[in-house]
Every structure is written in structure tokens, then in C-alpha cells.
């Protein structure tokens, strides 16, 4: 029987620090209970990919893995990708794919499981996809849990696993898939930075204060989660990564006593992807979402990183 391997990797949310992280500031991320699955199996008929739209991503991942691991042939494969993570909404689906497929190849080639190496290769795959990623998404998808992450330089990235308290009930609201890609949003902030470096640096410094506030919250030193979410959102709006439509929705959440922020690259033309929402009384948020017919779901944080689901002959 042909060798069959199944691997899963989690999506993520960014509690604070998106965009600023590209400029060397810290971010706090959490793995979530939505995963992407990659199955690979030996086949006799070259490379086949399901769903077929994923073929170019798989080919490109294969090339990166082959180069980085210096292996020759990895061609006769059936690759099946399935996912619970909505694509292109800021939940890290592309990083989860990069991590899961890299790990699947490690298993397939019977290489010792080496998270550091897997993370490095997944970053290489992400780089081809997004030009200048911080590497935060692939790191959280590899290691899971909660992380404090910082990219000092291209070569030097540091992160620390955060042992945390039980996190209050959080919801994710899907404001819709942004028209812009992550790369385009990162470029938008870069242009803003080039026009007004002092202004943008000042905003990043304030983002860093919020990120530190989240660290305190996670270590039970500070309890105002709502205020942290609200301030973070204000700063992201100042960076110009939130659409008018999303801002209107967030103001409505605030009106009922809740708090919300976008998580990830955002979007300005129409939608801004996933939003994190919090209310001290979750029932209020649930009835609001029903009334507004929002795509809202509860999320579990601090989930496990990449995982082998099956490795059988």
C-alpha cells in the first residue's frame, strides 16, 4: 500500500502588533482552533493536486522544500489540501499551508521532525507569496499557543512562548474578504511611512505600548482587555488599513458596549477581513450579530501548533 501522510497546522489571530511587526516592533499572536490539512500519498502518475486550483501553490512549495533540503525528486505525489480557515481574511491560511506541507514532506522523506527547520522553510514559502512577510504567521502556526514575536532583521527573528491565563471568551466576525492582498496592504503602509516617517513611527510606538498591555493582560497584571482592543483598532485606523464599512461596524459594536479590532493586514476598499470582538456580556454580542446577520463565531485561543494526523503505509 502507498505511504499516506496527513498533517494539520492552525490558523492564527494577531492580538496586537500587525504591520508594526514588519518594522521590527513586537507582536502578540495566538493559534486558533481552525486548522488546514495537507495529505500526501505516493502515486505513479506524477503530481496531482486536489483541489486543482491549489496546484501552483503546491508546486511552488515543492520547489522551495527541494531546494532547502537539497533533495532531488519529489514528483510522484498526490496532494490533497482541505481547510477550516477562511482564505485571505487575516487568519493565516497561507502560513498554515506552508507549515503543513513542509511538515508533510519532512515525514514523507523520513527526516527527523525539526520545528526550527520547518518554520524556516515555511517562511521561505511565505516570502515567495507575500514579498516581505514578518514571519510571525508561520512561526505561530508551527509552534502554536501564544507567542511574542519580533523580527529584528531578516536573519534574526526572536519569539517567546507565552504561558497565559485562561482567556476570556472572544469572537471572530468576518467583515468579508478584502479586495487587497496582504502584500498590497503592507505596501500601502510602506508608502505612508515614506511620506510621513515620524507620524508612522509614533503610531508604531503606541502600538508597541498596546502590545505590552496585552502581555500584561496575559500575565494577569492588567485587566482591561476591552480598552486594549479599542486602542489597537484606533491605531490601525490611523495607519489607514481599515475600510469605512468596517469602521462603521466596529462603532456599532462599541455602541452596544463591546470592543472590536481587525486582525492581520486589513483592507480599505471594501472589507477588512477578520475582526476580533469582545464583550463582557457575550450574549449582547451574540444577539447583535444575529440582528445584523453577521458571520460571527466563537474562537478558542492557544491551540496546538503543527501536528501529524496520520503517517501510515
Task: For residue 63, give the H/E element and its range.
Answer: helix 55-69
Q: Which residue stretch of 16-24, 31-39, 163-171, 299-307 sits at the interface with ligand PMV (rule: CB under 6 A)? A: 16-24
Say if strands 259-262 and 307-312 run parallel, antiparallel, or are unpaired. unpaired
Does 187 participate in catalysis according to the annotation? no
Q: Total number of residues binding ligand PMV (CB under 6 A)? A: 14
| Sign of the torsion formed by the C-alpha atoms of 78, 84, 87 and 92 | negative
Q: Binding string, 181-220, against ligand PMV, x = CB under 6 A?
A: -x---x----------------------------------
Which residue reads 504591520 in cell numbers?
A: 19
For ligand PMV, the binding residue among 15, 18, 246, 301 (CB under 6 A) is 18
Question: Which of the following is catalytic: 33, 75, 137, 187?
Answer: 137
For ligand PMV, the binding residue among 8, 104, 137, 188 (CB under 6 A) is 137
**249 contacts ligand PMV (rule: CB under 6 A):** no
Which residue reads 464599512 in cell numbers?
A: 245
Is 21 or 276 the residue whose CB approaches ligand PMV more closely? 21
Nearest to 77 by CA among 39, 107, 113, 103: 39
Is 40 or 200 the residue whose CB approaches ligand PMV more closely? 200
CA-to-CA dists, residue 297 to 161, 171, 185, 274, 294, angstroms: 26, 6, 25, 11, 9
Minimum CB–partner distance for residue 87 and ligand PMV (Å): 10
For ligand PMV, the binding residue among 144, 145, 258, 264 (CB under 6 A) is 264
- For every residue of 147-200, DSSP letters joined together read EEEEESSSS-EEEEE---PPPPPEEEEE----SS-HHHHHHHHHHHHHH-HHHH
For ligand PMV, the binding residue among 136, 213, 258, 305 (CB under 6 A) is 136
Which residues, 6+ apart, have CB-to-CB distance to 157 below 8 Å? 135, 139, 149, 150, 151
Q: Which residue stretch of 14-22, 28-36, 44-52, 216-224 sits at the interface with ligand PMV (rule: CB under 6 A)? A: 14-22
Binding site for ligand PMV (CB under 6 A): 18-19, 21-22, 90, 92, 133-134, 136-137, 182, 186, 264-265
**Residues with catalytic roles:** 137
Amino acid at each position: 500500500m502507498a505511504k499516506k501522510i496527513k498533517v494539520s497546522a492552525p490558523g492564527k489571530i494577531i492580538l496586537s502588533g500587525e504591520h508594526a511587526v514588519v518594522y521590527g516592533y513586537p507582536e502578540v499572536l495566538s493559534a486558533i482552533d481552525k486548522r488546514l490539512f495537507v495529505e500526501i500519498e505516493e502515486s505513479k502518475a506524477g503530481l496531482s493536486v486536489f483541489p486543482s486550483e491549489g496546484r501552483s501553490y503546491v508546486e511552488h512549495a515543492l520547489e522551495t522544500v527541494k531546494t532547502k533540503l537539497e533533495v532531488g525528486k519529489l514528483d510522484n505525489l498526490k496532494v490533497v489540501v482541505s481547510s477550516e480557515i477562511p482564505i485571505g481574511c487575516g487568519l493565516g491560511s497561507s502560513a498554515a499551508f506552508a507549515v503543513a506541507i513542509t511538515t508533510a514532506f519532512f515525514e514523507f522523506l523520513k527526516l527527523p521532525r525539526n520545528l526550527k527547520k520547518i518554520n524556516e522553510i515555511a517562511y521561505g514559502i511565505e516570502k515567495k507569496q507575500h514579498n516581505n512577510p514578518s514571519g510571525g504567521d508561520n512561526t505561530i502556526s508551527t509552534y502554536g499557543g501564544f507567542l511574542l514575536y519580533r523580527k529584528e532583521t531578516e536573519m534574526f527573528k526572536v519569539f517567546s512562548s507565552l504561558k497565559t491565563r485562561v482567556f476570556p471568551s472572544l469572537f471572530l466576525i468576518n467583515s468579508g474578504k478584502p479586495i487587497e492582498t496582504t502584500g498590497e496592504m503592507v505596501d500601502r503602509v510602506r508608502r505612508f511611512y515614506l511620506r510621513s516617517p515620524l507620524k508612522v513611527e509614533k503610531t508604531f510606538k503606541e502600538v508597541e505600548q498596546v502590545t505590552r498591555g496585552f502581555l500584561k493582560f496575559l500575565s494577569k497584571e492588567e485587566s482591561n482587555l476591552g480598552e486594549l482592543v479599542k486602542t489597537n483598532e484606533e491605531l490601525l485606523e490611523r495607519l489607514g488599513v481599515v475600510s469605512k464599512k468596517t469602521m462603521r461596524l466596529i462603532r456599532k459594536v462599541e455602541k452596544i458596549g463591546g470592543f472590536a479590532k481587525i486582525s492581520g493586514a486589513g483592507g480599505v476598499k471594501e472589507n477588512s477581513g477578520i475582526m476580533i470582538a469582545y464583550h463582557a456580556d457575550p450574549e449582547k454580542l451574540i444577539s447583535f450579530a444575529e440582528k445584523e446577520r453577521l458571520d460571527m463565531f466563537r474562537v478558542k485561543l492557544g491551540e496546538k501548533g503543527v501536528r501529524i494526523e496520520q503517517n501510515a503505509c
